[in-house]
Amino acid sequence: MAKPVSLQNKEFGAGGKPISQKGESLWKDSMRRLMRNRAAVIGGSIIVLLLLLAVFADVIAPYPFAEQTLVDQNKLPQWVLSLFPTMEPYAQLSPKYFFGADYVGRDMMSRIIYGTRVSLTVAFIGPIISLIIGVIYGSISGYFGGRLDNLMMRIVDVLYAFPSLLFIILLLAFFRSTFARPAPGTFTYSVSQLDAAMGGLLFIFIGIGLTAWATMARLTRGQVLSVREKEFVEAARTLGANDMRIMFRHILPNVVGPLVVAETLAIPGYISTEAFLSFIGIGVNPPTPSWGSMISDGAQVIRTYPNQAVFPALALAITMFAFNFLGDGLRDALDPRLRGTQ
Amino acid sequence: MRSKFFVLGGLLIVFSMILGACQPAAVPTPESIIQTVIVEGTPQIQIVTATPVPVVPVEEMKVLTLNMGPGDIPTLDPSLGTDTSSIQIAVETFVGLTRQDEVTNEVEPGMATKWESVVNDDGTETITFTLRDDVPWVRWNGKEVEQVLDCEGNVRMVTANEFYYGIIRTLMPDTGSEYAYVLGMVMVGADDFNNGITDDPTTVGVEVIDEYTIALTFIEQAVYNPAIAGMWIAYAEPSWLIDGDDCTEARTDKWTETGFFQGYGPYTLKEWVHDYYLTLIKNPFWPGADNIPVPKIEEVTWTMLDASPAMAEYEAGNVDAVGVPLADMDRVKADPVLSAEYMVAPDFCTYYYGFNTTALFVDDVRVRRALSFAIDRQSLIDNVLKGGQEPAGWFSRPGLAGAPTRETHPELGVAFDADKAKAFLQEYLDEKGITTAEVDITLMFNTSEGHRRIAEAIQQMWKDVLGLDIKLVNQEWRVYLSTIKGAGTPQIYRLGWCLDYADANNFIREVFDQNGSSNPYTAGEPSGGVFWKNEEFSTIVRAAATEKDPVKRVEMYAQAEEIMVLEDAVMAPIYWYTRNTLTKPYVTRTYSTGGHEHIEKWDVDMAAKP
Amino acid sequence: MGRFILRRFMYMNVVILVVSMITFGLMHAVPGGPFDREKALPAEIIANLEKRYNLDKPLWQQYLMYLNDVFIPQFSKTAPTSNLEDDALITFKVSGNLWVRWMNFGPTFSSRSRTVNDIFRQQLPISIQLGILALTVALTIGVPLGILAALKQNTIFDYLGMSIAIFGVSVPVIVLGPLMIWIFGVTLKWLPPTGWGTKPPYILGIFPSDLSWSFWRTAIMPAVALGLGSSAIIARLTRASLLQVIREDYIRTARSKGVKESHVITRHALKNSLIPVVTILGPMMAALVTGTFVTELTFGIPGMGKYFVTSITNRDYPVIMGTILLYAVFLVVANLIVDIMYAYLDPRIRYD
């Protein structure tokens, strides 16, 4: 999924030239069509922007994300008050914080900016893990079928039979408590230090990763099952193409569309899993800012200080829009049957 | 375009079919309850459709809806109750030998109209309670509250036998009562029986003199003995219902379920839909007493909602009184209507940070004092807690019997003092030749939004005042409990304590004396929590328990507090709780300080209710 | 096909067994026990409680005992009593004095008067009802929106439809729930802010016995809040899939033969384009039923969700095991149905 994006500039540099039919790779062709899709381009640009925000958060954010000024708690600027006039009777104004300050007087804007780091990491790690493992696993299973398929799918079934949210909670409880306060120098100590350095994200990744790929494997298999019976696969087979070639040249390009869509659709799921974990109090460690924890904090005060829920939720929504439109564009672009039709 | 409607229509049809298929031939009314009726030893679920027979016309019936907080009520069994919700129901459906006034916490007559104390030769104290003889056992039969009859058809009255049964049942190891230790601590023989050292119940200091007289023997002549005798773990319990008799089937653990439950208090259980709501109905056979009047409100329902949804229900007019969520505090205080319905009342709990006095850095009393003095409790209350809590200078909350108050001891305990805090820390740093950067201290709390906010604010105070970067770690409750009870207790840990009975002994001695809940001992040596042994402190709190002179007693506890929070500074008291409630103007009520409301004293003006 | 289903059914048992093993191991590996209290209980009482719940036995023995209680039907000459230990989910009389008891999921440590089966009987139906309603909401919004977007690809309908769908998925229930309560429950007073308008007994043990307005008015907000997120997933999958299908040769053929466009879509394209949607229905239903925690807490619904979350923090082993196993069976069956539907919807798929 990352590949076509990285090719973007190169492709763009070569753009404008009439594209020759023969030497045109599938990816290049796809890119051309992707660039024509306005919504996808906007989505992609937003994601690039968010990535920049995440990388340069230290420079852009006006305050450190953990700095509390207790006396400034819940203060907000005039424009926010105008936006939510219900706060009139009790709102305390302060122009210092653009989106207002949170319940302990931390700048909401800085936290949202830093929060892109956590949320984007969550948004990328989940899909990457599940795409890599799931697609390879699923296509092998679906393509070869028979006993191998059966065996592989039973393994997936076991994972799949676990209600994923519940499994993640159980896994997190296990990891967190097993790795709680071990003696320095041990392996568990290093792991817990790494987790602490990541603000508690490591175990969340492991939990999500362990549960997410199975879905992708199943979906891939389903798609492969349906495509491998198609005429062009039969044709390739009779022409003597080997399994690897059929799989990667003929089948995968034909199934990748729905997979990409499913994966971009899953991204909100990953991010909201993180928010859910924060909501039940087992998310990232404080004061690590994540949109999920900000939203779940904000949701509690939604009637009193709606801005504290609305702004992080808006950040999340914009990100979702971006990922979804980009995913959609990718799907349209990657569908080989659309080649040359637009 | 037609396709869209095709699919939509199709879905609707399918769904209506699913629902149609589930449509019962005869829909039971919502009034129905499930009863397991044993026919020839065969349990059968019967749907008993109850026809409500209101005592007063429905429109005039006084009803009240309150909120219990999220989650099901753990138990209605008095022997097993440990939490506010369980005990709230217990105090309304049962009455102890004595009863504490819910506001002043004074010990008043309960089922016992009077009691006499005799000091025995061996120093033990026997209190003989005389019970009232006019209270029957009652149950809700699906239609109305009826008196429970015995096998001969006579009304079963509450007698000393059921009190004896209740106390022994609480203490039986098989019961697994978590609060049995309170009886074990004060009653002769109770601890051994509870721990299975003996299985002879006659060794326990409880004796039925006659049907309406019961004698309890206590180890010490402690001031709080009558209060403990009135606790829920010593309520009368229906032995015939739990263990069965000739005419009653044994319900064992299920005896507290809807349809089975029997009690004798001013209210009795009408319906308990697990995790959803519980309704108590007025017991018409409760004869009333000065301090436990005949209830005015006919039915009381508790919903089991989280704070925010409960607040929404209150504002929608469906719940009559509710705790104010912290999140809504600013809005409530600014709102002209809500602020008039808002009330802050004391709640007898203390929030504190304990120090592991054997852990690096905090093993020096100066560091502990510095940390304690550096906490700006008032600022925490104003900016984080917002509920009008009181900054805690010591542990035993004022208002408890024997506890010092700000009036009696204005200078006692700790208060925010940045200079003192800095001075203590500096002295330590200079002596050790280290800088603040080298001081590595971890504060641990159990995972919870509220504790996190407090910890974050205090972390910032320590940074601002002392320049210390304290690490925050949270653990999930069960793991946390095992952590802070053992050798791995972190340098600073969080806990709170709420009263079981309104006496300073319940706080100071039961929590911090040797083998207290925050100072566990193994084989006579400290093994967790604050890891603290101070003979002077132990001597004082033990002597204070039996001190009859109230003024002298307060003085002794003040001395003990001084040792605990200043001299040894084993803990930093943070704040004394308050309860922030909203009550509709048509409700007349009292505000309990112990957390358990006495609804029989409340009233509702139904005419004023919109 | 019959052989396939039979084989899958046998595998299913193996899968459930493996799931039970992993869960059992994992939950006992989490430190802290069910009887850890702030005021530590006397050792004797803990020992008694552990004996009562068989926690004093070696783990493997506990596991086997659990399997025996849950999976293996127990024959007994005595009639079941109302004792907690006697509470099997399925109890029936075989003959004169022979009784069969099956699926005794054990006690719950958090309530002394209830068993895991009690929780299943009283709380689970509510989560299932909520899940079904949410799925209905998701389908009624998602499928038409997806079809509309696909048929009008790259037009304002497409973008608008998809925007609505994405909005649904990107506003979490955590925010949407309180917002809906605020607007419709408190300010407008159209709907009750919280609650669930039905309680036991349920029809067939699952469905509400009362389907009057008093049920629906409590169900609307939570079902919409929970279903909206899934409607986006369905809308986008429908769109993607339909776009793919309408470019297939057989659709072109149908079109070129002059078949009416609406006929082409409804008769030919829709059926095939719904394959990915069907694939996701099983897991989605399961996700909706298991993912009701936030919705339940927000709307004060006495469902199953919070039992699982609190059971882990309380080390309520039988509830953890019971919930995971029950949901696992649910998921496995859902997957089996998906596979069968696959074959039905796309005859080119063969299981051999």
Contact (CB, 8 A) for B469 and B440: no
Record the tokens describing residue B316, joined without a space.
């929608």
Could you give phi then psi for residue B411, rounded to 5 degrees? -95, 0
pTM beyond 0.90, yes or no: no
Contact between B330 and A177 using a beta-carbon 8 Å cutoff: no
B585 cis-preceded (ω within 30 degrees of 0): no
- Mutation target to probe the B interface, by most B beta carbons within 10 A, among C30, C84, C112, C239 is C112
Contact between B308 and A68 using a beta-carbon 8 Å cutoff: no
Record the tokens describing residue B329, joined without a space.
């505090």
Smallest Cβ–Cβ distance between B74 and the set C111, C132, C211 belongs to C111
Q: Residue window 431-490, chain B: list those with CB within 8 Å of chain A.
A: 447-449, 452-453, 455-457, 460, 472-476, 479, 483, 488, 490
Rounded to an integer, what distance in angstroms lies between the CA atom of residue A59 and that of residue A56? 5
- Mutation target to probe the B interface, by most B beta carbons within 10 A, among A103, A111, A189, A308 is A103
From first CA to last CA, the distance across chain B in angstroms is 49
Q: Look at the block and give the residue holding tokens 């027979």.
A: B53
pLDDT band for A183, please (50, 70, 90 cuts).
low
Task: Please indicate, yes or no, if residue A310 is contained in any of the structural domains.
Answer: yes
Per-state percent for chain B, helix, strand, coil, to nearest 5: 35, 25, 40
Measured between CB atoms, does A286 come within 8 Å of chain B? yes
CA–chain centroid gap for B181, Å, is 15
Q: What residue in A sits closest to C234 (Cα-Cα)?
A: A265
**DSSP per-residue string spanning B346-370:** EEEEEEEEEE-TTSTTTTSHHHHHH
DSSP structure class, residue C150: H
Query: Among the ranges A168-177, A229-238, B44-53, C57-66, which has the highest mean pLDDT value?
Result: C57-66
Chain B contact set for A285 (CB, 8 A): 472, 474
Q: Quick one: B458 exposed, middle or buried, by C-beta within 10 A (0-12, 13-18, 19+)?
A: buried
pLDDT(A13) > 50: no
**DSSP 3-state of A54:** helix
Which residues are B343's β-sheet partners? Answer: B581
Task: Please indicate, yes or no, if residue A21 is contained in any of the structural domains.
Answer: no
- Mutation target to probe the B interface, by most B beta carbons within 10 A, among C152, C183, C194, C297 is C194
Contact (CB, 8 A) for C38 and B495: yes
**DSSP per-residue string spanning B456-519:** HHHHHHHHHHH----EEEEE-HHHHHHHHTSTT--SEEEEEEE-SSSBHHHHIIIIISTTBTTB
Neighbours of A177 (CB within 10 A): 20
Chain B contact set for A89 (CB, 8 A): 331, 334-335
- Mutation target to probe the C interface, by most C beta carbons within 10 A, among B253, B272, B511 is B253
**DSSP per-residue string spanning B18-42:** HHHHH--SSPPPTT-EEEEEEETTE
Rounded to an integer, what distance in angstroms lies between the CA atom of residue B601 and that of residue C259? 79
Task: Please indicate, yes or no, if residue A207 is contained in any of the structural domains.
Answer: yes
Q: Give the pLDDT of residue A261.
A: 67
Smallest Cβ–Cβ distance between C266 and the set B6, B43, B479 belongs to B6
Contact (CB, 8 A) for A200 and A287: no
Query: Among the ranges A159-173, B230-244, C147-161, C295-309, which has the highest mean pLDDT value?
Result: B230-244
Contact between B327 and A303 using a beta-carbon 8 Å cutoff: yes
H or E stretch covering C168? helix C156-170
Q: What residue in A sits closest to C7 (Cα-Cα)?
A: A150
Record the tokens describing residue B383, joined without a space.
């900016």
Nearest Cα of chain A lies from the Cα of C97 at a distance, in angstroms, of 38
From B105, B82, B85, select the one nearest B93 (Cα to Cα).
B85
Q: Look at the block and give the residue holding tokens 């997190």.
A: A172
pLDDT band for A2, please (50, 70, 90 cuts).
very low
Nearest Cα of chain C lies from the Cα of B281 at a distance, in angstroms, of 20
pLDDT(A246) > 90: no
Task: Please indicate, yes or no, if residue A31 is contained in any of the structural domains.
Answer: no
pLDDT(C335) > 70: yes
Rounded to an integer, what distance in angstroms lies between the CA atom of residue C221 and that of residue A120? 31
From A104, A95, A103, select the one nearest A77 (Cα to Cα).
A95
Residue A233, amino acid: V
Contact between A176 and B476 using a beta-carbon 8 Å cutoff: yes
Chain B contact set for A287 (CB, 8 A): 456
Record the tokens describing residue B213, joined without a space.
């007289």
Rounded to an integer, what distance in angstroms lies between the CA atom of residue A85 and that of residue B250? 62
H or E stretch covering B230? none
Contact between B274 and C181 using a beta-carbon 8 Å cutoff: no
H or E stretch covering B206? strand B206-210
Chain B contact set for A90 (CB, 8 A): 330-331, 333-334
Q: Give the pLDDT of residue B51.
A: 45
- Contacts with A225 (C-beta within 8 Å, 6 or more apart), sequence order: A142, A145, C342, C349
Contact between B328 and A304 using a beta-carbon 8 Å cutoff: yes
Q: What residue in C sits closest to B8 (Cα-Cα)?
A: C140
Residue B492, amino acid: I
A262-271, B71-80, C133-142, C191-200: lowest mean pLDDT where? A262-271
Do the strands B63-67 and B299-303 form a parallel or antiparallel pair, or are they unpaired?
A: parallel
Task: Please indicate, yes or no, if residue A15 is contained in any of the structural domains.
Answer: no
Contact between B517 and C39 using a beta-carbon 8 Å cutoff: yes
Rounded to an integer, what distance in angstroms lies between the CA atom of residue A256 and that of residue A162? 26
- Mutation target to probe the C interface, by most C beta carbons within 10 A, among A165, A273, A335 is A165
- Angle C45-C50-A165 from CA coordinates, rounded to 5°: 125
Contact (CB, 8 A) for C166 and C232: yes
Measured between CB atoms, does C243 come within 8 Å of chain B? no
Task: Please indicate, yes or no, if residue A283 is contained in any of the structural domains.
Answer: yes
Rounded to an integer, what distance in angstroms lies between the CA atom of residue C231 and that of residue A150? 32
Q: Quick one: A20 exposed, middle or buried, by C-beta within 10 A (0-12, 13-18, 19+)?
A: exposed
Q: Give the pLDDT of residue C266.
A: 74
Q: Give the pLDDT of residue A184.
A: 67
Measured between CB atoms, does B268 come within 8 Å of chain C? no
Rounded to an integer, what distance in angstroms lies between the CA atom of residue A296 and that of residue A290? 10
Contact (CB, 8 A) for A217 and A255: no
Record the tokens describing residue B13, joined without a space.
């049809």
Q: Give the pLDDT of residue B28.
A: 34
Rounded to an integer, what distance in angstroms lies between the CA atom of residue C203 and that of residue A65? 53
Q: What is the CATH number of domain C116-345?
A: 1.10.3720.10
Measured between CB atoms, does C233 come within 8 Å of chain A? yes
Contact between A276 and C294 using a beta-carbon 8 Å cutoff: yes
Rounded to an integer, what distance in angstroms lies between the CA atom of residue A307 and that of residue A310? 5
Contact (CB, 8 A) for B304 and B275: yes
Contact between C328 and A258 using a beta-carbon 8 Å cutoff: no
Measured between CB atoms, does C95 come within 8 Å of chain B? no
pLDDT(A182) > 70: no
Rounded to an integer, what distance in angstroms lies between the CA atom of residue C197 and that of residue C188? 20
- Mutation target to probe the A interface, by most A beta carbons within 10 A, among C8, C20, C169, C175 is C175
pLDDT(A316) > 90: no
DSSP structure class, residue B416: -
List the subunits that have 3+ CB pairs under 8 angstroms with A: B, C
Measured between CB atoms, does C240 come within 8 Å of chain A? yes
Measured between CB atoms, does B383 come within 8 Å of chain A? yes
pLDDT band for A336, please (50, 70, 90 cuts).
low
Rounded to an integer, what distance in angstroms lies between the CA atom of residue B271 and that of residue B76? 12
Contact (CB, 8 A) for B125 and B115: no
Mark A228-251 as b/e (b = at least 16 C-beta within 10 Å): beeeebeebeeeeeeeeebbeebb
Do the strands B471-475 and B442-446 form a parallel or antiparallel pair, or are they unpaired?
A: parallel
pLDDT(C343) > 80: no
Contact between B327 and A180 using a beta-carbon 8 Å cutoff: no
Rounded to an integer, what distance in angstroms lies between the CA atom of residue B220 and that of residue A279? 49
Q: Which domain holds residue A147?
A: 43-338
Query: How many residues are recorded in chain C?
Result: 352
Rounded to an integer, what distance in angstroms lies between the CA atom of residue A283 and that of residue A296? 10
Q: Give the pLDDT of residue B444.
A: 92
From C278, C150, C13, C249, select the one nearest A222 (Cα to Cα).
C278
Neighbours of B38 (CB within 10 A): 12
Measured between CB atoms, does C77 come within 8 Å of chain B? no
Measured between CB atoms, does C169 come within 8 Å of chain A? yes
Query: Among the ranges C89-98, C191-200, C305-314, which has the highest mean pLDDT value?
Result: C191-200
Q: What residue in A sits closest to C187 (Cα-Cα)?
A: A303
Task: Tell me whether 0.90 is exceeded by the ipTM.
Answer: no
- Domain count along chain A: 1
Mean pLDDT of chain A: 77
Smallest Cβ–Cβ distance between C82 and the set B19, B34, B251 belongs to B251
Cα within 13 Å of Cα(B379), Cβ side: 18
Record the tokens describing residue B52, joined without a space.
């409500």
Q: Residue window 379-398, chain B: list those with CB within 8 Å of chain C.
A: none
Neighbours of A157 (CB within 10 A): 25
Q: Residue window 101-130, chain C: list those with CB within 8 Å of chain B.
A: 110-114, 118-119, 122-123
Ranges in chain B, pLDDT < 70: 1-59
Contact (CB, 8 A) for C37 and B178: yes
List the subunits that have 3+ CB pairs under 8 angstroms with C: A, B
Q: Look at the block and give the residue holding tokens 């909120």.
A: B67
From B498, B559, B499, B503, select the one nearest B223 (Cα to Cα).
B503
Contact (CB, 8 A) for B49 and B58: no
Q: Residue window 241-300, chain C: list those with CB within 8 Å of chain A.
A: 241, 243-244, 247, 275-276, 279, 283, 286-287, 290-291, 293-294
Nearest Cα of chain A lies from the Cα of C266 at a distance, in angstroms, of 21
The full 3-state SS of A237-306, as one line of letters, equals HHCCCCHHHHHHHHHHHHHHHHHHHHHHHHHHHHHHHHHHHHHCCCCCCCCCCCHHHHHHHHHHCCCCCC
Task: Please indicate, yes or no, if residue A259 is contained in any of the structural domains.
Answer: yes
Record the tokens describing residue C75, joined without a space.
């024959």
